[in-house]
Structures are given as C-alpha cells and as structure tokens.
Chains A and B, each alone.
Chain A
Amino acid sequence: MIHYIIKKLLVFPLVIITVSLIIFAVLRFIPGDPARLMAGKQATQEAVEQMRERLGLNQHFFVQYGKFLKNAVKGDLGVSIRSEKTVISILGKSFPNTFKLVIVSYVIAVLIGVIAGILAAIYQYSWIDQVVMFLAILGASTANFWVALMGMNLFAVKLGWLPLLGTGSWKHFILPALSLAWYPTALIARMSRSSMLEVIRQDYIKTARAKGLNEFKVYIKHALRNALIPIVTVIGLHFGVLLAGAVVTETVFNWPGLGRLLVDAVRYRDYPLIQGSVLLSVTSVVTVNFVVDLLITQINPRLKFD
C-alpha cells in the first residue's frame, strides 16, 4: 500500500509536467495571435510586433517553456496578458468558487444517483424503476446548458424563487449545482442500478437470505458493498466530467469560477491564464483520482497494491 502511494506520488509531477508541455504547445499552435488581439484589430504591424516582444512571445518555444516551468516551480504562473494581474491571484479567487460548486454538484449527483439506482434495482420493473430509468435517459440525453436555461426561466424569471446569476447565498447554488449534476446523476443512477442488479443475483446473496437475514441487511451489508466498487470508479472519473461541465455552467450562470475564466481567457488567447487554469484543473482531477483509488482499496480489500 505504502509502495503504491509513493509510486503514485512520484508519477504525479510527471503527469503535471507532461500536461503543462502539451498545453503550452497546443496554445502556440492553434490559430489566434495574442499580440494581435491585444494590440487591436486596427493596430499597425509595428504595434503588434512591439506587443509580441512585450509579452515575450517572440522568444523560442523552449525558452518560453523553460521560463514558465522555472517560475511555476516557484509558484509563479505568470501574469495575465489582459489584466496584468498575477495568474495565482486570479486563480486564488476563482478556483474556490469552482471547487465549491463542483463539490455540491458531486454530492448531489452521488447521493441522488446511487440511491435512485439502488432503489431501481431493488424494485426492478416497478414504477420506481421506470421513473428512475426515464429520468436517467432524460438526464443523459439533454444538454446541461439547456437544462440550465429552462431552470433559470422557470425558477428565477417566472416563479422568482431562486436568484438567477452569481454567488452570494446558498440559494445561488441550487440552479447551477443541479444543472451541473444533471448528467452525472443520470449516469451514476444507471451504473448503480446495473451494478446492483448484477450483485443481487449472486449466490452469496441467496446464502445471506437463506441465513434468515432481513432484506435491509442483505441489500446494504452484502449487496451494496460489492456493488459499490464499479460505482466508486465511475464517481471518481466523473470529477473530471464535472470540472469540464463547469465551463458551460459557470458561463451560463455568471458563476465567477475557473470555467468562466477559461472561456474569457481562451477567447483572447491569454496564454498564462489558460495555462494556469488548465494546470490547476488537471492537478485537482489527478488528486481526486488518486483519492478514489485509495478509497477503492478500502471498499474492496481483495485489491492489494504492491
């Protein structure tokens, strides 16, 4: 176990360095010149070149990357091209907002998804199963921005129950968190149902029943623990899905987080800000996946890490 953790921790910086190199390269090869965008559409070529020099974009790719890496190690992710604020200070304000939103959505998706999936499995072919499956198909097949816009129109504009945009109170979380959780909830519910159905047909469940255990104990103690292994894996993978989904959700709800920041940064090719945002996202996804791996070992002791 300790070996496994050390191995993972050693791989960690390698993943981050590889990702940073990819982002750095991709940004410089996609069309769109930040110097031109910054200097303005009508700026002279001379002004564009001056801007390029000022931004350090006229240096060789590896010189730029080397500088970036050297500074990043010291915790300096550069300065935003547009606002001239440090990337760290911008991320420091926006990342907590995204993190809170993703965590709330995560909790909603896991709680509703797992409970609904298990109930659908236990009461297979009943109306509960049919309702859960209908909602799961709906959730998996409707875009979350559409759900967001419909929810905003109904609950904020028509009924006036919830605030429309931004942050400030717990009420501000409801619409963005639900719309962000919409798709993962559906997938987790389907996964939980099929996993549970597979487990409750196993012989050891029949044995448990034959021993005279009540149904609650059979499902929770014997079935659920085994059914949870694939569910937890899916849940772990969905952190990245939620973080990616936050780009759309934050844009629609004016949520001042990483996703919204990234959209603006990409539009104006604010290289340092894009690099910083993506690096931070990747780091958090890798961390969560690592934690999930550890959790799985706790749920399923048969998995030993060497």
Chain B
Amino acid sequence: MISSKISSKVNGYSVKLKGVLKVKVSRNLVFVFVFGLMVVVFPALASTLTVMQTEAPLTMDPSNHTAGYTAAVLNSMYECLTKFDYEMKIVPGLATDWQATNDGKTWTFELRRGVVFHDGEDFTAEAVKKSFERLLDPNNGLATRGRFAPVISKIEVVNDYQVKFYLKATYPSFDRLVSMGSASIISPKALDDGISLAKNVIGTGPFKFVEWVTGEHVLTEKNNDYWGGIPQVDQLKWKWSPEKSVLVMALQTGEADVIYPLPPAYANSLKKSPKIKVMETETDQTFWLSLNTLHKPLDNVKVRQALNYATDRNGLIKAIARGYGKIANSPMGPISFGYDPACEAYPFDPAKAKELLREAGYVDGFEVPIAVQEAETSYAEALQGMWSELGIDVKIYKMEYAHWADQVFTAKGDNKGYSVIASWASGALDADTFLKPLFHTASFPPAGANLGFYSNLEVDQLLNEGAITVDPEKRKEIYSKAQKIIHNEGAHISFYYAKKLAGVRSNIQGVWIMGNNQIVLNEAFFE
C-alpha cells in the first residue's frame, strides 16, 4: 500500500517534470528538484501498520492485567528474559543463557549486553531485580503477582550481567514462567522516578511508546536502538472495536492492515478477496464448560460423563468455529508441555449418555444453569438443543463481563451454582500453568479458575509433584496421569482446540500468530 502510494506520487511529479524539461532546464537542476521533493514527500509517508482488535487495552502496566488484548499491545514494547520462538520452543530473550542447579531451586541468567531501555538507560541485572521485586511486592497489588510469588523467594545481582533467582521450591519450567509478559523488564530509572506504568511504557522492545489516547488508539514507533532487528514499519497503531463486522469492514477498506483475532464466521468470505489473506495457526486455546460439582446432580461422576457423551463436539466446531478447531481429547491444550495425545476424546454417543443417566438415577432429566458472556452464548444454546433429548434443561444466564466475573469468581460458600463456559490458554505453555489453575483444589475461586470446584486429592498430589519434577519424561508421565483422571471424571466438557485466525492485507508480510495466541508484528513490512 505504502509503496504504491509512493510510486504514484513520484510518477505524478515526473509528469510535471516533463513539462519543465521542455523549457530546457539543466539536468542538475532537475535532479536537485526531484531530490528536494523526495525529501519533502518521504517523511510524510512514514509507514504505519494499523492493527485492530476487539477490546481496548486495560492498562499499559505489563504486570497488572491478565488480558490477551492488552498483552498483544505491550508485547511489541516490552521484553522478558526468555521468549518462545515460532516453533514454540523457549529461546533467549533479554537473557542469553541460563542454568539451574541440580535441585532446580536456583536459576542463574546471563544477560544480553548492549541493550538499552527506551529512556536511554542500560539494561543490567539491576533492572531485572527491580522489575521482579516490584512484581512480587504485595504493597503494589499487581494482578499477576500470584503467578510468581509462590515460586520466587529472592533475586540476587551477581554482577551487571548475571542475575540469580532463588526459588521457594524446585520449579523446572521457570524458564517458561519468566517468558510471560507479566514478567517484562522495566527501566529501573522509570521505577525509581515513580513514573506511572499504567499510562507509560519504558521497556527494551522493538517499538517505543508514543501515546495512548483513551478510547481511540495506542501509537508506538520503531526503536532505532533496538538490539535485535530494527522493525521495518515506522509505526504500529493499535485500534479496537467491539463490533466484529466493523473490524472486517476496516480490513476490507484498508483502514486496518491487520485484524486479530478474525472471527471464524468471516474467514471464508474474506479468503475470496485478493486483497486479503487469512492466516491460521493451531493454538493452545481450549474451549470448555466447567461443570459445577458443588451441587446435585453434577456432583455425580456418571452424570458428568453422560453430559460429555451427549456433547457433539464436531457439531460445535462446524457451527461455531466454522471448522477452525480440533476436537479436544484432553482437558489441557495441545501445545503446552505435558499434553497427552493418547488421552481419548469422548465420542458423541447419546445412547451411552442415556445409559449413564439411568445408572445415576436421573432418567427424568434435570436443570443445568450455565453462566455465559455474550461471546459464549452460542455454545450454551447449542448444548440446550443437544441435551434436550435427554430431558436436560439448560438454563442460560447471559451476563456482561463485569457481572459475569462477579458471579463466577465467588468463593465456595457464596457460590451461585452456575456451570461456566469459557476458554483457557497457558501463556507459559506448560502443564503446571494450564492444569493447576483449572483443576487444583487450591485454585477454587476467587483465587483460581477452578470454576466448577472440582476436587480430587490424587489430582492435587500429581499436580504438585509435576510442578517440582525436574526430569521432563517423568513430568510428562505425571501430567498424563492427571489429565486422564480429570478427563475421566468429566470435570470439564472440553469442546475443542481453537485455530486462531488473523485477517491481513495481502501487501503485508512478516506477521506471525504464535501457538500461545500472541501476534508478533516486529518483522512485519509492506511489500
């Protein structure tokens, strides 16, 4: 788009120049004239890549949110010690190398030299220490503190480019944990000066923060001092609209260069447009219904299994994900470490479901109240249809986000009894961060996302053991066992693993969607 604009403008001037040449102006003068025009014209054509999402960022503080859309904006400006590559392997980020002691309780990170923060400060071990201490300090009340506080005991600066983490217990996936956006490294000067990180960004990433106009956009510009490859686009502009059709129209008109995520319902029609390409990537995101085990009859394993058999997952993939999904055979995501492909998916078998309900003593059916937000309503409606033949009456309680969060994340004593439809993806792509928050007894709301209050001591023990087992093969075995128990007991009805889609204008290259749902735009450029 930009290149075509440039050529058409330059061509326009060349037509005028032909007229000038007729009056025999010297070649040198023409050259000076054209050069002068280019100097004037080119800066005005700074290439800006506009990305549209469905939600506005919550804050600019990387450690004070758990929202994917906010993370997408911040990921281009902040960096962590480690990161995932395109094959979802952990690779160096701000750390070039790291080692754990044999007991897995002390981790030493060698830091990258020559890295400079956006405010001109040098990146050193002190920055790492200060960033993590800020995250861990309970007085700061940061939203993601709970992920790190149970793990990290102390951070020690060995020298300018070496830092040591002392952990409270063995944690073999610590290198994955520090890759999460909430562990971004912030300029120590900004922290010392008390600059509000809710509205400012001072990281080391390939893009620098320019402005956040509330309700309008976030603008970033390329960081010419970036230690890695300097971005090819001059600016990234983030916009948002809750109306999905507006997102798609923005892409069609070129007012947005990238829309992420692209709603599956629009994917097939956009694929027909030569100006747009649809990117798709298999991700860890798993859609599920968490069955509320606190109340009858869902406290009965047979009933939960029956509902699993009565769910037509293929139907859901076809109708809702428009084919962009894969049946979930396990309660955890397929990209995370520890996923067991051998776990057997529940087949759609209404006869078996009836049989199980009869055995459980619920031949006449019962009521299942389900709490959903707008986006997940269609799943509940589909289940309503599927389960009605078994006499099960699905009551849908549709709530807007704040109300939903209030109703669903209530402690056991105050629980409202809803089963809940939602999705989960582990940023660290590890079984510990996937399974523990969803199925461990210690993860009952409001502290965790075990929304159905599933509790099994054996599972708790396995999850605890998996978290501290260093040997990867042994860890896999432990998590495989845990997955099978959770799956067999039907704590969740795992629907499918979503393919993540992005709509991108055809003249843009270098956009990546990662298996952990992140969109990477550092290498994007206009053809």
A296 to B326, CA, bound (A): 66
Given contact pairs A31-B407, A40-B144, A47-B146, A80 touches B214 in the complex (Cβ within 8 A): yes
Residues of chain A within 8 A of B146, CB atoms compared: 42-44, 47
Name the CB-closest residue of A to B407.
Answer: A31
Which of chain A's residues 137-152 have a Cβ closer than 8 Å to chain B?
149, 152
Known: A37-B402, A45-B446. A83 touches B59 (CB 8 A): yes
Give Cα A26–Cα B196 distance, bound, in whole angstroms. Answer: 30
List, in ascending order, chain A residues with CB within 8 A of B138's CB: 46-47, 50
Query: Which of B60, B212, B253, B446 is in CB contact (< 8 Å) with A164?
Result: B253
Interface of A, helix, strand, loop or mixed by DSSP = helix
Residue B36, interface by CB 8 Å: no
A254-B246 contact given A82-B198, A163-B255, CB 8 Å threshold: yes
Q: Is B447 an interface residue (CB 8 A)?
A: yes
Contacts of B17 in A (CB 8 A): none
**Cβ of B56 under 8 Å from chain A:** yes
Q: Interface majority SS on B: helix, strand, loop or mixed?
A: loop
Q: Residue-by-residue, is B440-483 near A (CB-CB < 8 Å gives 1, otherwise 0)?
A: 00000011110000000000000000000000000000000000
Q: How many angstroms from the CA of A44 to the CA of B149 in the assembled complex?
A: 11
- Chain A 10-27 interface mask (CB, 8 Å, partner B; 1/0): 000000000000000000
Q: Which of A265-282 contact B (CB under 8 A)?
A: 266-269
Interface string of B384-419 (1 = CB under 8 A from A): 000000000000000011110111010100000000
- A residues within 8 A CB of B448? 42
Q: How far is the CA of A90 from the CA of B147 in the complex (A)?
A: 33
Assess the A263–B142 pair: CB atoms within 8 A.
no
Minimum CB–CB distance for A87 against chain B, Å: 10
**A36, B213: Cβ atoms closer than 8 Å:** no
A54 within 8 A of B: yes
Give a binary string over A59-101; 1 marks a CB under 8 Å from any B CB, 0 the rest. 0000000000000000000001011110000100110000000
Determine if B242 and A251 form an interchain contact, defined as CB atoms under 8 angstroms apart. Answer: yes
A90 touching B214 by the CB < 8 A rule?
yes
Residue A165 is within 8 A (CB to CB) of chain B in the complex: yes
Is the pair A84, B198 in contact by a Cβ cutoff of 8 Å? Answer: yes
Known contacts A36-B406, A157-B252, A164-B253; is A48 also within 8 Å of B198 by CB?
no
For the complex, give the distance between the alpha carbons of A113 and B396 in Å: 43
B25 within 8 A of A: no
Contact assessment for B246 and A41 in the assembled complex, using a CB-CB cutoff below 8 Å: no
Q: Are B402 and A267 in touch, CB under 8 angstroms?
A: yes
Q: Which of B65, B139, B141, B448 has the most CB of A within 10 A?
A: B141
A39 in contact (CB, < 8 A):
yes
- Which residue on A lies nearest to B212, using beta carbons? A83
* Interface membership of A264, Cβ < 8 A: yes
User: Given the complex, which residues of B lie within 8 Å of A268, measured CB to CB?
Assistant: 58, 401-402
CA gap between A203 and B141 in the complex, in Å: 76
Bound form: Cα–Cα A51–B65 in Å? 12
- Chain A 152-182 residues near chain B, CB threshold 8 A: 152-153, 156-157, 160, 163-166
B145 within 8 A of A: yes
Those of A190-228 within 8 Å (CB) of chain B: none
A218 to chain B, nearest CB (A): 49
- A300 CB to closest chain B CB, in angstroms? 41
Contact between A264 and B246, CB atoms less than 8 A apart: no
A252 touches B449 (CB 8 A): no
Instruction: Please give me the residue from chain B that is nearest to A84 by CB atom.
Output: B198
With the chains together, A123 CA to B143 CA distance in Å? 67
**Residues 179-214 of B contacting A (Cβ, < 8 Å):** 196, 198-199, 212-214
Are B447 and A256 closer than 8 Å at their CB atoms?
no
Report yes or no: A84 in contact with B241, Cβ–Cβ below 8 A. Answer: no
Pick from B60, B253, B403: contact of A157, CB below 8 A.
Answer: B253
User: What 1/0 flags go to B119-157 for Cβ under 8 Å of A?
Assistant: 000000000000000000011011111110000000000
Cα separation A165 to B253 with both chains bound (whole Å) = 10
- Closest chain A residue to B200, Cβ basis: A84
Q: Would you give the 0/1 interface string for B51-67, flagging 1 where the beta carbon is closer than 8 Å to chain A? A: 00000101110001110
| Whole-angstrom distance between the Cβ of A78 and the nearest chain B Cβ | 14
Q: Contacts A50-B139, A251-B241: A267 and B401 contacting too (C-beta < 8 A)?
A: yes
Supposing A31-B403, A164-B255 touch, asked if A36 and B446 sit within 8 A by C-beta, the answer is yes
Is B437 interfacial (CB-CB < 8 Å)? yes
Residues of B within 8 A of A269 (CB): 402
Report the minimal beta-carbon distance from B126 to chain A, rounded to whole angstroms.
25
Q: How far is the CB of A148 from chain B (nearest CB, A)?
A: 9
- Contact between A31 and B406, CB atoms less than 8 A apart: yes
Q: Closest residue of chain A to B246, judged by CB?
A: A252
- Residues of B with C-beta under 8 A to A34: 402
A238 interfacial contact with B, CB 8 Å: no
- At the interface, yes or no: B243 with Cβ under 8 Å from chain A? yes
In whole Å, how far is B8's beta carbon from the nearest beta carbon of chain A? Answer: 16
Q: Is A39 in contact with B239, judged by CB distance below 8 angstroms?
A: no
| 15 A-B pairs (CB sep. < 8 Å) | A32-B401, A33-B406, A36-B409, A40-B144, A42-B147, A42-B448, A83-B59, A94-B215, A153-B249, A157-B249, A254-B246, A256-B215, A260-B215, A261-B215, A268-B402
15 extra A-B contacts, CB within 8 A, seeds A39-B141, A46-B138:
A33-B406, A37-B405, A39-B143, A43-B447, A44-B146, A47-B141, A47-B143, A83-B59, A149-B245, A156-B249, A164-B250, A252-B243, A252-B246, A263-B242, A264-B214
